[in-house]
Chains A and B, each alone.
Chain A
Amino acid sequence: MFFVAPAMIVLAAILGFPIVDSILLALQRVQLTGGAVSQSWVGLENFQRLFADPVFWKAAINTAYFSVMEVILVTLISLGVALLLNHPMGKSGFFRILLIIPWAIAPVANAVLWKWILHANYGVLNGILKSLGIIDNYQVWLGSPFSALNFLLIVDVWKSVPFVALLMLAGLQRVPQSLYRAAYMDGAGPLQSFLHVTLPTMRGVLAIAVVLQTIWSLRVFDLVFVLTRGGPADATALLNFLAYRVTFNFLDLGYGSAIANVIFAVTFILAGLYVWLLWPRQTGASR
């Protein structure tokens, strides 16, 4: 128990009060008047307002789509990248450093970079696609709800792949050679050894990747703020951005907390589900 205690104490000390306070705020109505913050208990009123608010539901649906797609894309792409970098041809340190760079770029710079790349009038993506003849006219990538949401997705996937790929690479490296040899002895081809040796051993890593990516995809904020501000017409107002807007722009702290707590609840349920479904059963013995 000593092993675990220090970590738990640190977490409780720093996050305990804020988390509890946030849950309590969701049950209050907070207003900034008279030079102070006035709070009054309103029970579940914030949540009732939430569930009747079309803006909330729109954000919820968009967030659901965004999150599911991001988890799928990031997991698949990261697995692919990890396999590539695990192959003898991909083992050079150059690739590993290249992997980390997108992730190491500061978030504001990253978001502004992509805003300029995707710009409808002078963006370099338009420039390249047009000179390659792939498109005739410059496209407004962030102009239509469907397109804006999907480009937001692509940019976030780009930023999220490095970490998950790194994780999977570490997982791949830990698959013992002896298992591959054994499979080879049994006459397994490359695909079979992948399916029957690699994937099962990576199950723990895959589970972590899915769980973490789910949690993070529900918290996307920087990109929405810089690239679209939730537009056009709230098409990219994801739940976390909505919580920010309500809390910091409208100063409606109670309502904003309610939205954030809904995100909390959804994340909790989803993560719990994934862990229950995907987590490797045995704690230890693998051979």
Chain B
Amino acid sequence: MSFARLQHGGPVRQTVVLAGLAVFVVWSAGPVLWLVLSSLLQQKALIQQPPDLSPANFTLTNFTTVVGAAAALGRGIFNSLVVALFSTAVALALGAPAAYALARLPVPRANGIAFLILATQMLPGIAIAIPLFILISKLGLIDNVLSLGVVYLSFNLPIVIWILRGFFTSIPVGLEKAAAVDGVGIFATFWYIVLPISIPPLTAAAVFAFVEAWNEFFFALILTRQHAQTVPLVIAQFAGQYQTVFGQMMAAAVISVTPVIILAILFRNQIIRGFADGMMKG
């Protein structure tokens, strides 16, 4: 069989792949579809058995109500963007060099240090919440978007380092040896040679750091008050003591997942290009 056939597979394999993709779409999109549908339905239609999808029940009031209370959601989205972008950018800036060093450079006990970095994530947030609160409030930085970003940095950094370290260790050494022979220094090697071919893992790490910061709830609850509220807190507002206004919460969720989707679409070329067929063709 031809090499292309090896890649694409025959009719059987193609059917399997097609079926697999279909299952994947249902699995991923099903609940999301329900999320969107719920945001467009009246509450009383949602509590029917089964939920009543007749056209009469569809309404935009959930969205208008949520947008009407726009101040909170708008500020929440703005705060979340600042926090997420800040912690992602700094996590990559600090994490990529660190990961490279731990993967390649003769750092003594690199494995030990790397594991120690990871170990900072192993203590559940519950345990460090109160001591962290005490620390941040003594610094007077409660309810501050940048301080929240710095805290998130401490959660993202270890994972970013580990992801990138894994990829850096699997780059064949040939490239760097060639650069060393040409007299290129470590930093230049890192900047001009290693980074450009590491776009896929860098993108993966960036996406991870961003989404994790975007979604984080517990520390946002503990460390903010009124001004630095992030999106997860605003969405949680719709679940009260006696009532959960489900449709409105879903409308808020739809509105808040939109920036992430937009960023994903904007950067899809990076994502797709970065994921293009291997770095060494042929």
Contact surface of A with B, Cβ cutoff 8 Å: 1-4, 6-8, 10-11, 14-15, 17-19, 21-22, 25, 80-81, 84, 87-91, 93, 95-110, 112-114, 116-117, 121-122, 124, 126-128, 130-131, 138, 158, 162-163, 166-167, 169-171, 173-178, 180-181, 184, 189-190, 193, 201, 204-205, 207-208, 211-212, 215, 218-219, 221-222, 226, 240, 243-244, 247-248, 253, 256-257, 260-261, 263-264, 267-268, 271-272, 275, 279-280, 283-287
Q: Is the CB of B161 within 8 A of A7?
A: yes
**Contact of A98 (CB < 8 Å), options: B29, B167, B200, B279:** B29
With A113-B31, A257-B127 as contacts: A4 and B211 at CB distance below 8 Å = no
With A104-B211, A204-B167 as contacts: A109 and B124 at CB distance below 8 Å = no
**Contact of A163 (CB < 8 Å), options: B25, B126, B208:** B208
Q: Is the CB of B153 within 8 A of A10?
A: yes
Q: Is the CB of B207 within 8 A of A166?
A: yes
B32 to chain A, nearest CB (A): 5
Complex Cα distance A219/B129, Å?
A: 14
B205 to chain A, nearest CB (A): 9
Q: Is the CB of A11 within 8 A of B17?
A: no
**Contact of B218 (CB < 8 Å), options: A178, A181, A221, A253:** A221
**Contact of A19 (CB < 8 Å), options: B120, B150, B208, B279:** B120
Complex Cα distance A131/B49, Å?
A: 11
Taking CB as reference atom, which chain B residue is nearest A21? Answer: B131
Q: Is the CB of B169 within 8 A of A204?
A: yes
Chain A to chain B contacts (Cβ below 8 Å), 18 pairs: A7-B95, A10-B154, A14-B151, A17-B135, A18-B131, A91-B272, A102-B32, A104-B214, A109-B250, A114-B31, A122-B48, A122-B49, A158-B31, A170-B203, A190-B9, A243-B124, A268-B119, A284-B173
**Contact of B17 (CB < 8 Å), options: A89, A166, A264:** A89
B280 to chain A, nearest CB (A): 5
Q: Is the CB of A18 within 8 A of B50?
A: no
**Contact of B49 (CB < 8 Å), options: A121, A180, A208, A247:** A121
**Contact of B277 (CB < 8 Å), options: A122, A177, A211, A268:** A177
Q: Is the CB of B200 within 8 A of A116?
A: no
Taking CB as reference atom, which chain B residue is nearest A193? Answer: B6
Chain A contacts for B265, CB-based, 8 A: 93, 97
Chain B contacts for A221, CB-based, 8 A: 124-126, 218
Chain A contacts for B264, CB-based, 8 A: 96-97, 100, 104
For B, the interface residue count at a CB cutoff of 8 angstroms equals 116
Q: Is the CB of B153 within 8 A of A112?
A: no
Q: Which of B198-221 contact A (CB under 8 A)?
A: 200-201, 203-204, 207-208, 211, 214-215, 217-218
Complex Cα distance A91/B275, Å?
A: 9
Q: Is the CB of A100 within 8 A of B172?
A: no
Q: Is the CB of B126 within 8 A of A260?
A: yes
Q: Which of B222-262 contact A (CB under 8 A)?
A: 231-232, 235-236, 239, 244, 246, 249-250, 252-253, 256-257, 260-261
Chain B contacts for A184, CB-based, 8 A: 3, 6
Chain B contacts for A90, CB-based, 8 A: 17, 21
Complex Cα distance A220/B132, Å?
A: 20
Q: Does B72 contact A (CB under 8 A)?
A: no
Q: Is the CB of A261 within 8 A of B6?
A: no
With A10-B94, A264-B122 as contacts: A96 and B38 at CB distance below 8 Å = no
Q: Is the CB of B157 within 8 A of A173?
A: no
**Contact of B207 (CB < 8 Å), options: A100, A127, A285:** A100
Complex Cα distance A267/B29, Å?
A: 32
**Contact of A99 (CB < 8 Å), options: B9, B28, B97, B276:** B28
Q: Is the CB of B13 within 8 A of A261?
A: no
Complex Cα distance A15/B163, Å?
A: 20
With A14-B154, A138-B49, A177-B277 as contacts: A1 and B107 at CB distance below 8 Å = yes
**Contact of B123 (CB < 8 Å), options: A121, A207, A264:** A264
Q: Does B192 contact A (CB under 8 A)?
A: no
Q: Is the CB of B127 within 8 A of A247?
A: yes
B253 to chain A, nearest CB (A): 4
The 10 closest A-B pairs by CB, nearest first: A127-B50, A260-B127, A3-B101, A109-B253, A18-B128, A21-B131, A3-B97, A18-B131, A267-B122, A7-B98
Q: Is the CB of A174 within 8 A of B20?
A: no
Chain B contacts for A6, CB-based, 8 A: 94, 97-98
Q: Is the CB of B123 within 8 A of A19?
A: yes
**Contact of B35 (CB < 8 Å), options: A17, A109, A263:** A109
- A-contact 0/1 string along B150-189, CB 8 Å cutoff: 1101100111011100110111110000000000000000
Complex Cα distance A90/B13, Å?
A: 13
**Contact of B232 (CB < 8 Å), options: A18, A87, A107:** A107
Q: Does B118 contact A (CB under 8 A)?
A: yes
Taking CB as reference atom, which chain A residue is nearest B210? Answer: A104
With A15-B154, A107-B232, A193-B6 as contacts: A93 and B126 at CB distance below 8 Å = no
B135 to chain A, nearest CB (A): 5
Complex Cα distance A18/B244, Å?
A: 34
